[in-house]
Chains A and B, each alone.
Chain A
Amino acid sequence: MTRITLTIDGETVQADEGTSLLEVARKAGADIPTLCHNEQLKPHGACRLCTVEVVKGKRTRLVASCAYPVEEGLVVRTSTVEIEKHRKLLVEMLYPTALHLAKRYGITKSRFEAERGDCNLCGLCVNYCREVAHRNVLYFEGRGIDRKVAFVPGKAQECSSCGACFELCSGGFVVTNHGTVSLNERI
């Protein structure tokens, strides 16, 4: 495995080829928020909270660190005024879900009308169901603002014997075949 050397927040670090910036940065102590990331799953790249700044040659841009593999000589900044502004706005867009992040960014109310209160479409349940549980019971229905987690028709029953994704749900809410109920209620 080739070792890659890069700079994260001013520190020179080394990592194996193929490792994500998020993983390396977190190991180096960076506190990067995420919603859709889980170590068991392939990067989904949906919440965009892990956005970091990368400088490659003359080009500076923002990328999602969860899906960006380490590159030789890359200079990474995990927190800038701009990045924190974007993160805060993203969390505000999702309010009142992801309350732990809302707290971190001091958000107590949102200027936007709520998308929905129970699910921010991080996709952990859907991806876990496909990649780890190998059940493919869940999928995303609809597109754009109408997107939601739904059961593949006729497969809802399979959930009751698994339920492994329930604890991945950061909002404490999961979709069940009874509609949307809180994890606590279910237990």
Chain B
Amino acid sequence: MPSDELVALKTKAEQRNRANRICVCTAASCQSVGADRVHKAFEAEVNKSQREEQVEVRAVGCMGLCSAGPLVRIENDETAVLYRNVTEQDASALAQSIGRAPVERLICPTDVPFFTRQHKIVLANCGQIHPERIEDYVAVGGYEALYRAITEMTPGEVLADVKASGLRGRGGAGYPTGLKWQTVAKSPDPVKYVVCNADEGDPGAFMDRSVLESDPHRVLEGMAIAAYAVGANLGYVYVRAEYPLAISRLRLAIRQAKAANLLGQNVAGTRFEFSVDIRLGAGAFVCGEETALLLSIEGRRGQPRPRPPYPAERGLFGRATLINNVETYANIATIVDRGGASYASIGTERSKGTKVFALAGQVKNTGLIEVPMGISLREIVEDMGGGVPAGGRIKAVQTGGPSGGCIPNEHLDMPVDYDSLQQVGSIMGSGGMIVMDESSNMVEVARYFMEFSMSESCGKCVPCRVGTYQMHQILSRMLSGCAGPGDLSMLEELTRAVGETSLCGLGQSAPNPIKSTLRYYRSEYEEALRKSRPSMPLAEEGVR
């Protein structure tokens, strides 16, 4: 029996429903190329022709193919046509095409691998529903999993489903989500917290931003289910301040969910209580590290502290805390809805489900994709991504941002899962995927990421503070032709020591870009050394 709250919202969505819909992507990427103006132009157009009763102009979230933005989809209950690079001038022709032949010159084909190879769970509603209307989310089945969990399931049953799903943390490290939940659930602490890590910071990664901008209620529902399973009543979303649109939509979503009695006290008339608050990051990458993040929420300086104790034992304000990433929570409603076993049927033996990736760099189709685990890297970058725009050969694919590594072309046929990526010297990471063509200098690539880690190091522990700086110095010397003969061995010594002895994940993984490029492109380092004359002064751009 569905709750009155959900029925009321569904009715509201149905009343708004029109035979035809013009869906305009209004996520950050399309907005940056004028989607807001396109949206307004369509509204004016429909208004002018007095067809509001037949046509709805709907602002939706990310449709995925960011390189073809602004994207617009014109649909009715039978058909849907996607249009690419739509401008305000196109609005009139497109609006008039409703009920007639589509506008050929703007059509973006959707029978291509970029769309057909996707398996959408996390992104299921992205680009479909209006992210600022809770009734749209409810109309597609939203909050039903939460309602079912709190009315028909015990916390233990929810936990069992999540464990059975095989879901692993989508923030990058891949810790089994069910195990983490279980630790928090078992804690005798009378006060527990649920925290969502939305401090996405890897260069080239925008999965969490898109999910929050396109389907914020999915994340809230996941958090609420998690809170029920572990016994928490209060949650925080820690989101970086650089994501203004994600923040405003999330804020609105929380207000709407509260008003609809789906958050707060007595959720949907039950005894379950869960409230969510937002905390903004102030631009420190290290605050994505869980212990630093929790300190930052407490209003203290965001720098990592030693673990154990793990947050699951003693986290926020010293209480048992469940901390997961945006994408992890976004999977939960589906897991509860379809059952853990169904989710576990997707993916590989040790990596279940799907993963969202942000495709960027030297690739034709940049944007957001969701693929089943185990798909080959080549399928993603060549078939779905379309390869290098100018038609050259892909040299390497970088995954995992500053904590990850470069995977060379000869390994592109490997399956994408947590363990395979680790074997080739990279990591799954949060989902950034940067494609590089033959023009990329791998020493330069390593220096780029080292510069990032160096400037984002909090400076607390010696290996990260001094080590990242010294590694960056050596790479700069190599690139400006003034490296000494001992520099390469010194670099290798540093990568080992920094990786093994640093306090937190930032330092521990900071050498990975160097390690992986040294593994596959050692000759480029050696060439840089050959060209070096130690007497040369360090070029200005290399000096920090």
- Inter-subunit contact A93/B462 (CB<8 Å): yes
Which chain B residue shows the least CB distance to A93? B466
- Indicate whether A143 sits within 8 Å of B459 (C-beta atoms), given known contacts A62-B501, A85-B497: yes
- Indicate whether A48 sits within 8 Å of B459 (C-beta atoms), given known contacts A68-B308, A111-B486, A112-B470: no
- Inter-subunit contact B501/A46 (CB<8 Å): no
- Say yes or no: is A29 at the interface (Cβ < 8 Å to chain B): no
Which of B193-201, B202-210, B251-259, B449-457 is near enough to bind chain A? Answer: B449-457
Q: Mark B268-301, 1 if CB is under 8 A from A, else 0.
A: 0000000000000000100000000000000001
Assembly CA distance A49 to B455 (angstroms): 23
- Say yes or no: is B500 at the interface (Cβ < 8 Å to chain A): yes
Across the interface, which residues of A come within 8 angstroms of B369, CB to CB? none
- Inter-subunit contact B454/A46 (CB<8 Å): no
Across the interface, which residues of A come within 8 angstroms of B454, CB to CB? 144-145
Q: Which of A47, A68, A115 contacts B306 (CB 8 A)?
A: A68
- Inter-subunit contact B306/A69 (CB<8 Å): no
Across the interface, which residues of A come within 8 angstroms of B467, CB to CB? 93
Please classify the interface of chain B as helix (H, G, I), strand (E, B), loop, or mixed, using the class held by over half of its residues: helix
Which residues of chain A (50-65) have a CB below 8 Å from chain B?
Answer: 51, 62, 64
Across the interface, which residues of B come within 8 angstroms of A39, CB to CB? none
- Indicate whether A147 sits within 8 Å of B497 (C-beta atoms), given known contacts A68-B306, A113-B473: no
- Inter-subunit contact B497/A46 (CB<8 Å): no
Which chain A residue shows the least CB distance to B493? A89
- Inter-subunit contact B461/A46 (CB<8 Å): yes
- Say yes or no: is A185 at the interface (Cβ < 8 Å to chain B): no
Across the interface, which residues of A come within 8 angstroms of B502, CB to CB? 48
- Indicate whether A143 sits within 8 Å of B308 (C-beta atoms), given known contacts A89-B497, A90-B497: no
Across the interface, which residues of A come within 8 angstroms of B486, CB to CB? 111
Across the interface, which residues of B come within 8 angstroms of A85, CB to CB? 493, 497
Which residues of chain B (291-341) have a CB below 8 Å from chain A?
Answer: 301, 305-306, 308
- Say yes or no: is A67 at the interface (Cβ < 8 Å to chain B): yes
Which chain A residue shows the least CB distance to B304? A45
- Inter-subunit contact B308/A144 (CB<8 Å): no
Assembly CA distance A47 to B463 (angstroms): 8
- Say yes or no: is B218 at the interface (Cβ < 8 Å to chain A): no
- Inter-subunit contact A48/B462 (CB<8 Å): yes
Across the interface, which residues of B come within 8 angstroms of A94, CB to CB? 462, 466
Across the interface, which residues of B come within 8 angstroms of A143, CB to CB? 284, 456-459
- Inter-subunit contact A45/B503 (CB<8 Å): yes
- Inter-subunit contact A142/B503 (CB<8 Å): no
- Say yes or no: is A43 at the interface (Cβ < 8 Å to chain B): yes
- Pick 23 A–B contacts, CB within 8 A, sort by A: A43-B306, A45-B461, A46-B460, A46-B503, A48-B463, A48-B501, A49-B462, A51-B501, A62-B501, A64-B501, A82-B500, A85-B497, A89-B494, A112-B473, A113-B473, A115-B465, A140-B460, A142-B459, A143-B458, A143-B459, A144-B459, A144-B468, A145-B457
Interface residues of chain B, those whose CB is within 8 Å of chain A, are: 284, 301, 305-306, 308, 454-463, 465-470, 473, 486, 490, 493-494, 496-497, 500-503, 544
Contacts beyond the supplied A86-B496, A144-B458: 13 A-B pairs with Cβ under 8 Å: A48-B461, A48-B502, A64-B306, A85-B493, A86-B500, A89-B493, A90-B501, A93-B463, A112-B473, A143-B459, A144-B457, A145-B454, A147-B459
